[in-house]
Structure 1
């Protein structure tokens, strides 16, 4: 794109009100769930199950190797000299590691449905840095020719406009193909119920681990006397530190509970159900977010494979396709891909049987096995004669 065209596109006005896409966080934060609590990314993340699910996905995505490959006549090879290799493998900018940037952007995807990174290019058009942008500060517009524009608001309120090829934009569960939606936005009532249950339990301990009741006062007391009795009861009984103290009521007054106990309300079971529902929203096996009721030694490996196949795969492919689309200038020769082998390796016995089958069937070399196991290379190990000799 020449300089004049880029200038005109940057100055172009949105085509209409219908093509102005505000950050979703503002709309989400303005609405409460049917449970009566406010649900937004900050309150939702305060739920331990939500935090654990987001951490399990974002930490896995951020820590997996993401390499640049060059296509060759015989297959492929790592393109360590490609400018993008350093950004994705080591440091994308002057203040973050590659893991920190990818983990941060993956958290934005799960919490807000969108993740943005500004692409800083050199004079040759190759990317030199990736700068994360907070989704709450980004507004998407569409110009007259249908191209997307990104207005970024900084802390001082100044707005600057970025073109589509200057932004790495990753979306999640989008309806219009432009703005993504997070599980928190889609299932606001489910998250709101978990928040309400947690608040309910907190209030029980704040008020002395007892549910509320009524004090039946003797007839003839004034409104002020009734108020004094209620305040005296609250001061002496509310709070964990007052739990177990013996109350003393005025003569003729009686205390009568009017609410169900925690056991009657099955509060604990409801909390467990909330964990399962959060796991379902983020498609994470419950065992990975601390629910060990269905976990055992025999299914641990299978749960890990399920996590890679049904949870991580969608996010990994989104990263790869997004980067290949806007950051790779020569897609016919170069592309990026994650290495998920470490998450699928299984236990030692399973790996040994897998390698043995590959070597015996001649679709894997001994040198490849050592490389996958991070063992030093042995010269001549793939020779038929050397393969018969014991390794010292």
Structure 2
């Protein structure tokens, strides 16, 4: 058990900070919530005997979960990234030599990646895990033996709300702290049959949720939505006020309540809503320019929030509809998606599989896991056909294969590759090229 340096006053036994001020008194004056208090205690090196998991961590976890449920911009961007990443196929290769690689499909490692969990698709399992990563900046999966999968193992997600990473003084992970719905929490020392990863944190190894960084922007958007809802709920359709002449007869309480009830019928949700109210005693309806629905820029505000969230996750706003784009730049962003935008996510994910999963299932082997990004970067059929035909220098499909693509029946005599007469070995590089120039140098072509 580790004790951190601290001082106590001889009389009261209170913990004081480096300035000689009692911590509890200082907390009562300056800290409004557990997060601020916990940050101050950690910064001053003050810890209790059995710290467990600070309550501030639970508060942050719950707050991040509510953001996913209530903020359309966050869910739109996070779900877009998770859907793109969870459908990447994973391949297992054996490193035979520096110039030779062999794909492995019958090893339990490859079988586990193709079927990570029984009775559930791999894409769905990875989708929920990736959402944990993107929302909480940490994720965890447990490797368990299973009789319901071909590999004999399964991956079970540990929700981010149920685990924290315990670290040493250098923020290096030492154990996993797992809370249980029934029974006491478990502390699992590392290494253990778990896959996990976390981002940067100023203190500890639990990562820093992007929701903390986006909190002010998201709060502003939430206030705007609440304000617009209040406007429509209260029935204010026209920014106007009713003016009553100063010399009008004095209103009795009954007359005032009768007029208010009659006017509320036009602005409420009854059968008279949207009609024209009948004014009394020379009243006038005067437009107020302090509020103009057109100037609130509702759509622009939502797009701005979408763009801010997309930028926080390093995604081009055009891909999620947050900004208008053309066909050319959207196509360029699509090509950059799995290289510049999502490439770091794939690399970090791949490193976890190679550093944690491979030693568990294939210790001492030359196997490694690699993401098949080519499956996501393939162009249209026309682009692939032109590229492959140029690469091989001749037609690359049999007529029987082409008929199978179109779901046509097999025809005898179509299992041979047809090579056009204008394609020769050592002649044209591709049937798409023109005839080579055979005119001797220094002479012009005949007219």
Query: What is the TM-score of this pair, normalised by structure 1?
Result: 0.74
Contact 1:20-1:139 at 8 Å conserved across structures? no
Cα deviation for residue 14 of structure 1 reads 7.0
Aligned to 2:58: 26
Aligned to 2:356: 326
Aligned to 1:347: 380
- Mapped partners of 2:155, 2:82: distance in 1: 18
Contact 1:114-1:169 at 8 Å conserved across structures? yes
- Mapped partners of 1:191, 1:269: distance in 2: 15
Determine whether 1:317 maps to 2:343: no
Q: Which deviates further from its counterpart, 48-57 or 267-276?
A: 267-276
Contact 1:217-1:226 at 8 Å conserved across structures? no
Decide whether aligned partners of structure 1 residues 27 and 253 sit closer, same or farther in structure 2, where only a CA change above 3 A counts: farther
SS of residue matched to 2:58: helix
SS of residue matched to 1:350: helix
Q: Which deviates further from its counterpart, 168-177 or 96-105?
A: 168-177
> Which of 140, 144, 151 in structure 1 is aligned with 2:177?
151
Higher CA-based Rg: 2
Determine whether 1:301 maps to 2:327: no
Determine whether 1:202 maps to 2:235: no
User: Cα deviations across residues 62-100 of structure 1 (Å, max 9, x unaligned)?
Assistant: 11101222212343222222222222212x233422111
> Which of 75, 82, 87 in structure 2 is aligned with 1:63?
87
- Mapped partners of 1:284, 1:242: distance in 2: 48
> Which of 49, 53, 61 in structure 1 is aligned with 2:77?
53
- Mapped partners of 1:25, 1:233: distance in 2: 51
Give the structure with the larger helix fraction: 1
Contact 1:101-1:132 at 8 Å conserved across structures? yes
Cα deviation for residue 321 of structure 1 reads 0.7
Cα deviation for residue 172 of structure 1 reads 3.7
Contact 1:45-1:51 at 8 Å conserved across structures? yes
User: Cα deviations across residues 324-362 of structure 1 (Å, max 9, x unaligned)?
Assistant: 1211113761111111112222233433343244335x9
Aligned to 1:102: 126
Q: Cα RMSD over matched residues?
A: 4.2
- After superposition, residues 217-236 of structure 1 pair within 5 angstroms as 220-221=250-251, 233-234=263-264, 236=266
Contact 1:304-1:343 at 8 Å conserved across structures? no
SS of residue matched to 2:123: helix
SS of residue matched to 2:141: strand
Aligned to 1:128: 153
Contact 1:15-1:144 at 8 Å conserved across structures? no
Contact 1:87-1:98 at 8 Å conserved across structures? no
Number of aligned residue pairs: 354
Cα deviation for residue 179 of structure 1 reads 1.6
SS of residue matched to 1:130: strand
> Which of 166, 171, 187 in structure 1 is aligned with 2:198?
171
- Mapped partners of 2:320, 2:133: distance in 1: 19
Give structure 2 stretches of 5+ with no counterpart.
5-46, 406-413, 426-447
SS of residue matched to 1:71: strand
Contact 2:195-2:356 at 8 Å conserved across structures? yes
SS of residue matched to 1:327: helix
SS of residue matched to 2:83: helix
- Mapped partners of 2:241, 2:64: distance in 1: 35
- Mapped partners of 1:340, 1:20: distance in 2: 41
Q: Which deviates further from its counterpart, 168-177 or 57-66?
A: 168-177
Query: What is the TM-score of this pair, normalised by structure 2?
Result: 0.66
Q: Which deviates further from its counterpart, 236-245 or 299-308?
A: 236-245
- Mapped partners of 1:228, 1:255: distance in 2: 18
**Structure having greater relative contact order (Cα 8 Å, sep ≥ 6):** 1
Aligned to 2:411: none
- Mapped partners of 1:379, 1:77: distance in 2: 28
Contact 2:125-2:157 at 8 Å conserved across structures? yes
Decide whether aligned partners of structure 1 residues 262 and 271 sit closer, same or farther in structure 2, where only a CA change above 3 A counts: farther
